[in-house]
Each structure stands twice: as C-alpha cells, then as structure tokens.
Structure 1
Amino acid sequence: MSDLNVFKQPKSFYLIFSIEFWERFGFYGMQAILTVYLVKIMGMNESDSFVLFGAFSALIYGFVAAGGWIGDKVIGTKRAVTLGAIVMMVGYTLLGLSTAGQDIGGPTLIYIAMGFITVGNGLFKANPSSLLAKVYDDNDPRLDGAFTLYYMAINVGSLISMILSPLVAQKLGYGLAFGMSAVGLLITALNFLACLKMLKSVGSPADLAPVKKRNLMIVIVGSVIASLVCSYLLQHLMLAHGILVVAGLSILFFYFKEAFALTGIERKKMIVAFILMLQGVVFFVLYFQMPTSLNFFAIHNVSHSILGFAAEPEQFQALNPFWIMVASPVLAILYGKVGERLSMPYKFATGMVLCALSFLVLSWGSHFANAQGIISSNWLVASYFFQSIGELLVSGLGLAMVAQLVPQRMMGFAMGMWFLTSATAAVIAGWVASLTSAPKGISDAHASLAIYSDIFGKIGYTTAAIAVFTFIIAPKLTKIARGGNAPAMKEATAS
C-alpha cells in the first residue's frame, strides 16, 4: 500500500477521527491544568492534589471496561459514544462553574465534576476504536492505516489542547479554560449526531437492533448515580483505594485461576503476560508524573521558555504528544526492519531504560541550575523525549502483547486487566508525586530543586534497576512467548 493510500478511507472513518480528536482535545486540556487549578485557585496543597488526581485517574481507567461492555452488549457503541460525550461535557461545565467559588459550592462542584468526567470517559473511551474496527471488512488493507491516523487524532487533539488550555487559563481564567474542554465535547456530540447516517449499517449487535428504551434509561440513570458515587469516593480516598485493592485482588485471583487451569506453553504465556503487565504498572507510575510532579517542577524550577519563546509551564506537557507524533512513524519503519529480531520483552525492557533516563536527566540537570535555582527547559525537552519513546515501546505495545500471549477466550478479560495496570499505577503515582511537594511555607527555588533532584534521581535509578532485571529475564520470556516456534513471532503495534 502506498503512503497516499492511507488517506483514502471511507467517510465514516473521518467522522470517527473527528469525534476522537475533539474528545481528546477536551480531556487533555482539562488534565493539563487540573492539579494547578486545585493548588493555585482552590488552595489545596500539592501533595493532596497529586493523591486526588491519582485516584481520579484510577477511576477513569477502571470504568473503561464497563463502558466497552455497555457499548457492545447493552445500548450500542454509537449511543455509548453520544452519552459519554454528553456526560463528560457536563463534568467540564461543572468544573468551569466551580471557579465562581464558594457562592455556588465550588469545592463540592469539583468533586461532582470529576465524577461525571470519570463515568463519561468510561462510556466513551473504548467505543470509537471498537466502532472504527467495524467500518472495515476482514482483511481490508486500509485498516492498519486507519488505526495509525486514528492514533494521530488522539495526539493532535492533546497537543493542541495542552498548548491552548494553559494559555487560556492564564490569560482569561480557569473557567473559560474548562469551558473550552466542554465546547470540545459539545462539538463531538453534535457532529456525531448530525452524521450518524454515515454509520447506519455499522456497529455492535446492540447498535443494529432497535433501541430498547428501558435499557437506555437504565444506563442514563445509572450514569448519573455512578457519577455521584465516584464523587463520593473522591472525597473519601481511603474507601476508593480499598475498593481498588479488593477489585484488583479479585481480578488477580481469577487471572491466575485461569492460568493454572491451563497446561504447558499456554500457562507459561499467561505468566509472561502478567510479568509484562507488572512492567506496565512501573511505566504508568512514571507516565502519571506528567500532569503532577513534572508539571509543578516546570512551574517551580524550569525556565518558562522554549527555543527562546515564552511559554506557560503547563504547556511543556504538550511535548509528550509532540514526540509521540514525531517518533511513531520512525518506530513503525524500525519495527518493519527488525520486528522479528526484537521481541516484545526486549521492547518493554528498552522502554524501561528510556523511562529511567527521562528522570535521571532531570536529576543530573539540577546540577546546572542558575543562581536562582532554575534549569534550562532543554532538560525537560529531553526528559519528555525519552519518556515518550518509552511510552511507544511499553504502553503502545501493551494491547498487542495481550493479544499475542493470552488465549482468545480470555481476551476481553485480559484487555480489562491491562487497563487495571493503569488504574493501579495511577494511585501509586499520586503517592510518588506527593513526595516531591515542598513542605508548607517553603517557596525558595533552591529548596524545591533539591527535593525534585533527590526524588527524580531515586525514581530514575530504581527504574534503571528494574530495566536491568527485565533485560536479564528477557531471553527466557522471549523463548516462552514464541512458544518454541521456528519463525519468530512478528509483533504488531497497538493504536
């Protein structure tokens, strides 16, 4: 297939591309400024805001599997997309209203808003990609190109919103910044509803069957109730963490029960998948530092300029989708050349090395701070580069790994377990990020730089040790993953 043919997609593809773009525009715009809003405007201390954000992120990932099931089995993927966009729009609107302060219950609205965003994202997130896969017939050569462009929609949307949202928040206020996210979801919902005819014959069995109004009403009412329950959990984090632990242990029990019911190479592959999922937890702990500790590091100790141009510190987060967009085609070409010789365990191990470097360069860079305790933004640019390439090697390949190693009958469950790694990591990441928060009353840049240098160094060296271990066990894991087949297994990238 020529490079130009990748753009020759059906009209329905461009509809799905556009709704994913606007949804991610809204989500990442909110994420870029949420912790800063909690600290600067609502008066929360950094440590508490990081822990709250971690629980919020955990709930978001925890609801993804439920949203996918609702789309597939209950109301259909198209209705789940529409409802998810509307519920998220309500959440962003409530966040914007919370900026009015105590007069309308600002602090309480924040938690309610986060509850609606959690449930809305869960309803939405898994369904556009599911819908996209159904647009194409089996063995359609355009499918790989379609998912490549779809992945670009995610990164283009997040890149633009991570640049605009901090700027709007600084110049025009946080209310308008969150309102911008709400507008993104309004565009998503209206665009999707206006163009549904393009997808008339596309969807899950629940999509193609007449709508069951009772089921739809149950999901709508259930979404509101679930949003309020999430709001309550975010205000009682010990309870939220306890529920996550119970759910995680239950899923682990079922996973290993199924694994040990198997024999031979299938059982070993399930164990390899679990080991790689543990590595995924480590990666996501580092990934969730971007909107938390790395965000505030940029605020406190990094020059607020890039290539000589002034920048809001929160805008540095846009480096992640930027590097993803730059590196994705390069890695795709590289996989085509060496994919059969570089197994999944080695890719994961290489990703861990890069993630270790992403924090070590910041620790090393702290020794080159100026007299005011500020380091060049070039160190942060390099850090985001290493972490973004690591993301492509770990997170970007995670679902492909699950598809290769787990029996087909357990695929849906294992995919949900992969998302559980993100939820677990989000909670741990909130605690790790809280270690970087300066004690109350300390505002000196040198004092905060010393804390960041120490914690980032510990994160980097710990991750490096894990990377060494993963390289040591990679040959054994590779042998099991390949199942003794003569030809090496060729890995596919996940969108």
Structure 2
Amino acid sequence: MTTPIRGNVTLRVNHPISQARSFSTILLLEMWERFGFYGMQVLIVYYLIEQLGFSDRHANLTWSTCVALIYTTPAIGGWIGDKILGTRRTMLLGAIVLTLGYGLLGVPHQPVEFIFFALGVIIVGNGLFKANAGNMVRKIYEGSPSKMDSAFTLYYMGVNMGSMISMLLTPWVKDYINIQYGYDLGWHVAFTVSGFGLAIGLGGYFLMRRTLAYTGSEPDTHPLKIGKLGLVIGLSILMAFLAAFILKHETIARLFIYMATAAIFFFFTFFIYTARPHERSGLLIALILTIQVIFFFIFYQQTSSSLALFILRNVDWNFNVFGFHVFTWAPAQFQALNPIWIFILSPILAWIYTHAGNQGKDLPVAGKFAIGFMMMAISFFIYGAAAHFTNIAGKTSSWVIVWGYGFGALGELLISGLGLAMIARYGPARVGGFMMGTYFIATGISQYFGGWIATLAAVPKEMTDPIMTLPIYTYLFNWLGIAGLGCALIASAMLPIIRKLSLTSPSPKEGDS
C-alpha cells in the first residue's frame, strides 16, 4: 500500500493486492493503447502520400512532427499526474481522449485540417497517458531495481503484443474494405478499428481497477475535484487545436522542436540544481543516458518513415523458403516484425536480467545501451546490403527486412526497453511523473530529427523504377550503420564516468556496481 505521510513523500506497506496483479492491469491497458497507436502509425505515412497527395518529404516531416508532439506532451501529463489529478486518474483520462482521437480519424471524406485536428487529439491523449502509465509501473516496483528492469522489459513485451496484432490487422482491414466497398473507405475503417481496440482496453481496466486502489500519486488519495478536471479538459481541447496548427506549419514545428530541445537541458539543469545532495549523481547519470536515448530514436524513427517507404517500393512482399512461396504481406504489415521480434526476445532478456541480478552480476544500464547501439548498427548494415539480394525487378528479399528488424529490435530492448527503467531508477520519486515526461520529450525531438534524416532518402514522385530508387535508400542505411557504430563507441567510453557517479550514491543500486 502507498500511504501519504508528508507532502509528496510516500510510504509503502503491505497490502492484500500483489504486485503482479497491479502490474497486469497496467500492462493490459497499455497493450490496448499500443494496439490503437500502432494500428494508426503503420498506415498514416502511406495515407498522407497515397490519399492526401503529400510528397515523401512532406509526409515524413508531418509524421515526425506529430511523433515529436506525441512524445513531448507527456512532460505536461506527468506533471498533471504528480500534482493535479493523480497518476492513476490522468492515465485513465488519457486513454479516453486517445479513443476519441482514433474515432475522429475514422470519419471519412474529411479535409487535411480535420485530419490534423484528429492527430492533435491523439497527441493530447498520449500526453496524459504515457508518462503516467510508466510511472504507475515504477510505483508498483519501487525499491527493487532488478525487478524493475525485469518488469519494464516484460511491460515492453506486453505492449508490443498489442502493436503486433494491430500492425497485422489494420493493413488487412484497410485492403479488404477498399476492395469490397471503395478505395477511400478502408483507411477510415482501419483507423476506427484502432479506437475500438482501445475501447476494449478501457472496459478491461474498469473491471480490474481495484487492483490499483493502493497505487498512484498523492492527489489520487483525495476525492476528485470537478473544477480541476474541467480545467484539464479545457486546456486539453486548446492543446489539440494548437497541435493541429503546429502540424500544418513546418516553420513553427521546427521552432517548437528547438524549444523542446532547450527545455530538456533546462529541466535537467533545474532538477540537478534543486536536487537534494544524494539525488544529484543519479540525475547526472539519467542526463547522460537520456542523451544516448535521443540518438537511438533517430534510428528508430526510420521504421515508420524511410524504411516504411523502402518496403513499399523496393521489397518483394512475398516470403519464400527454398524457392517455395509461403505467404505474402501488405507493405504496412512489415512493421509488425518489430513487435514480433520483441515478443520473442523480451522474455529471454528479462530472465537474463533477473538471473544476473540475483547473482549480483547484472550489467549496468549504460553497458546495455552500448550493446544496443551495436545491434542497431548491424540492423542498418543489413538494410544497406539489400542490393545484394534483389530479383530481376530490382526488389530485395523480404528476409532482409526480417533480419534487419531482428537486430533492430534487440537494440531497442537494450536501449528504449530500459529507458523508462533508467528514469525510474535514477530520477527522484517525488517528481517521477515529470521525469518520465522529460524523458519522452527527449524521445520526441529525436524522432523529429530522425524524420528530417529520412528526407535525405526522399524519392521524387516521377521516379518509380525500383532499380533507380534502391541506391537512394541503401546509401542512407549504410551511413546510419556507421553512425550506430560511433554511438556504440561513445556509449562505451562513458561507462567509467557513469560507474564513478553510481558509486557516489548513498543507496546502492542493483546492477550499477
């Protein structure tokens, strides 16, 4: 049980609800939230290009700006959860707003401005939900770092199950409805399916909500004040319109990204300056690792931008084994390879972390980050070698994408999969939600820069020959592989500094010695 004792300080005592049951409730809701988000993500860039007539550059930058906003708004949502509504309530409100946003995308025959507003609602909903869901997991496993690493890895696996299902389902729904009832309608039915999945998740949450009765932030322990709720809802509506305005204007979007970048360093400087002496070393470690996360998400953003368009234009969608055709995927379905690999690799890594922690030999988070960058480098070198596996039409084997995604997913688990655990471990508990939000700002701005890098492989509309477009993509992928190696070397060089900082902490942290 978490009982308030003074200000924002909390005390955990025994209560009849197990950690596993509380964790399961958050996991299921997050799984369905990811079902909605990724069901939309796999289609949105294709939708902007094929339905709205955007160029590669315009589509990549629009989506990257949207992702940046999606991941920067949790800083505000985390603060609302910490100080105003409570972590648990803010998470729930965010899930409801997200369901509405996907529903708006499902309205057919709407102008670009309406689509941007729907994305704005999704941005706001994610801001309210994301940081608080992660912070709830932190609160459940507070005081046990090795269990926290394992929990966040399983959390990552579970939510990727939701994304895997939606990434396979929504492209199929889109194609089926388009064939049966008209080309435009299928896109919107698929977006509606994303919202319907999250509605199922909300139903499950209400059935299991008692398992979280003892978990949350200090405001969750007090009765809900309708005035505060109304203020948050009103500001959320304004934020949705503001987000739509930013999406429409590239110059303003770029200015926003620069401001968000400055905000990260301001927040960390403020946290470090105002921190209690025993908190500073942990915050410095969190800052170093957050900078590394920024570089990781530049690579990650390629999956929904340059890599997605590469699969559309330069990959043979058929899966053949020893010359025999097994099955064929729609191009959007290839993004499901990411959660499929994460689903395979997560339990293996979770067991390794727990076993190593019990033996006192767990590798530091910083070491896992360094290995993760090496895996990302290998992933992009595989994509860069696509020209060596082409058919007569100039399209590369689908298995190139399978193995590239495999190494990329391992890198993601070692970096992004532990990013939330890193913030939970090193950030002060009294501002846990806001720290989670600051972490998401970092991931958001990096994905904008990732989208900008993806524009380096933008293909002119008149260029349709795969033989001509292939070297445009492979050139970018090989350079990203080289950049990944550089990040791995820098991350390795930072290990002694992080180890020294961890030793100055008065409370030993598992895996950091």
User: C-alpha displacement at 1:329, in angstroms?
Assistant: 1.8
- Pick one of 219, 235, 243 that aligns with 1:222: 235
| 1:344–1:478 Cα contact (<8 Å) kept | no
Q: Distance in 2 between matches of 1:78 and 1:181?
A: 23
Matched, 1:247 2:267: no
| 2:87–2:433 Cα contact (<8 Å) kept | no
Matched, 1:324 2:342: yes
| 2:315–2:397 Cα contact (<8 Å) kept | yes
SS at match of 1:306: strand
Matched, 1:125 2:146: no
- Pick one of 329, 347, 368 that aligns with 1:311: 329
User: C-alpha displacement at 1:94, in angstroms?
Assistant: 1.7
The C-alpha deviation readout for 1:134-173, integer Å capped at 9, x for no partner, is: 5689779998876565433301111100110111111211
Relative to structure 1, is the Cα distance of residues 370 and 14 closer, same or farther in structure 2, using a 3 angstrom cutoff?
same
Relative to structure 1, is the Cα distance of residues 150 and 344 closer, same or farther in structure 2, using a 3 angstrom cutoff?
closer
- Pick one of 225, 235, 248 that aligns with 2:248: 235
SS at match of 1:210: coil
2:449 aligned partner: 428
User: C-alpha displacement at 1:430, in angstroms?
Assistant: 1.0
Moved more, 409-418 or 369-378: 409-418
Amino-acid identity (%) = 38
Relative to structure 1, is the Cα distance of residues 415 and 136 closer, same or farther in structure 2, using a 3 angstrom cutoff?
closer
- Pick one of 417, 421, 445 that aligns with 1:400: 421
Relative to structure 1, is the Cα distance of residues 23 and 439 closer, same or farther in structure 2, using a 3 angstrom cutoff?
same
Report 1:54-453 matches (<5 A). Answer: 54-97=64-107, 99-100=108-109, 105-131=110-136, 149-172=154-177, 173-193=186-206, 196=209, 199-200=212-213, 202-256=215-269, 259=272, 270-306=283-319, 308-336=326-354, 340=361, 342-405=363-426, 414-453=435-474
Q: Distance in 1 between matches of 2:196 and 2:419?
A: 32
SS at match of 1:396: helix
1:458 aligned partner: 479
SS at match of 1:309: strand
Q: Distance in 2 between matches of 1:140 and 1:434?
A: 40
User: C-alpha displacement at 1:483, in angstroms?
Assistant: 2.1
AA partner of residue 123 (structure 1): L
| 2:30–2:133 Cα contact (<8 Å) kept | yes
Relative to structure 1, is the Cα distance of residues 440 and 274 closer, same or farther in structure 2, using a 3 angstrom cutoff?
same
TM-score (norm: length of structure 2):
0.84
Relative to structure 1, is the Cα distance of residues 297 and 187 closer, same or farther in structure 2, using a 3 angstrom cutoff?
same
- Pick one of 476, 482, 497 that aligns with 1:477: 497
Q: Distance in 1 between matches of 2:424 and 2:380?
A: 31
Relative to structure 1, is the Cα distance of residues 431 and 147 closer, same or farther in structure 2, using a 3 angstrom cutoff?
closer
The C-alpha deviation readout for 1:291-323, integer Å capped at 9, x for no partner, is: 111111111111112352111111111111111
Relative to structure 1, is the Cα distance of residues 11 and 460 closer, same or farther in structure 2, using a 3 angstrom cutoff?
closer
| 1:9–1:142 Cα contact (<8 Å) kept | no
The C-alpha deviation readout for 1:21-80, integer Å capped at 9, x for no partner, is: 221111110111111111111111111111111110111111112112223322233432
Report 1:27-46 matches (<5 A). Answer: 27-46=37-56
Relative to structure 1, is the Cα distance of residues 140 and 357 closer, same or farther in structure 2, using a 3 angstrom cutoff?
closer
User: C-alpha displacement at 1:272, in angstroms?
Assistant: 4.6
TM-score (norm: length of structure 1):
0.87
Structure 2's unaligned 5+ residue stretches are: 1-16, 178-185, 321-325
1:17 aligned partner: 27
SS at match of 1:211: coil
User: C-alpha displacement at 1:334, in angstroms?
Assistant: 2.9
| 2:279–2:428 Cα contact (<8 Å) kept | yes
Q: Distance in 1 between matches of 2:327 and 2:73?
A: 40
SS at match of 1:23: helix
User: C-alpha displacement at 1:454, in angstroms?
Assistant: 0.8
| 2:379–2:405 Cα contact (<8 Å) kept | yes
Moved more, 182-191 or 221-230: 182-191
Q: Distance in 2 between matches of 1:81 and 1:402?
A: 18
| 2:48–2:54 Cα contact (<8 Å) kept | yes
Q: Distance in 2 between matches of 1:49 and 1:90?
A: 23
SS at match of 2:396: coil
Q: Distance in 2 between matches of 1:74 and 1:245?
A: 28
Q: Distance in 1 between matches of 2:128 and 2:57?
A: 30
The C-alpha deviation readout for 1:384-436, integer Å capped at 9, x for no partner, is: 11111001111122233345555666755544332222012111011111111
Relative to structure 1, is the Cα distance of residues 432 and 146 closer, same or farther in structure 2, using a 3 angstrom cutoff?
closer
User: C-alpha displacement at 1:451, in angstroms?
Assistant: 0.4
SS at match of 2:224: coil
Q: Distance in 2 between matches of 1:397 and 1:206?
A: 28
Q: Distance in 1 between matches of 2:100 and 2:312?
A: 29
AA partner of residue 497 (structure 2): L
AA partner of residue 344 (structure 2): V
| 2:134–2:420 Cα contact (<8 Å) kept | no
Relative to structure 1, is the Cα distance of residues 217 and 298 closer, same or farther in structure 2, using a 3 angstrom cutoff?
same
Q: Distance in 1 between matches of 2:490 and 2:141?
A: 41
Relative to structure 1, is the Cα distance of residues 137 and 49 closer, same or farther in structure 2, using a 3 angstrom cutoff?
closer
| 2:423–2:436 Cα contact (<8 Å) kept | yes
Q: Distance in 1 between matches of 2:272 and 2:436?
A: 15
Q: Distance in 2 between matches of 1:213 and 1:260?
A: 35
1:3 aligned partner: none
AA partner of residue 375 (structure 1): T
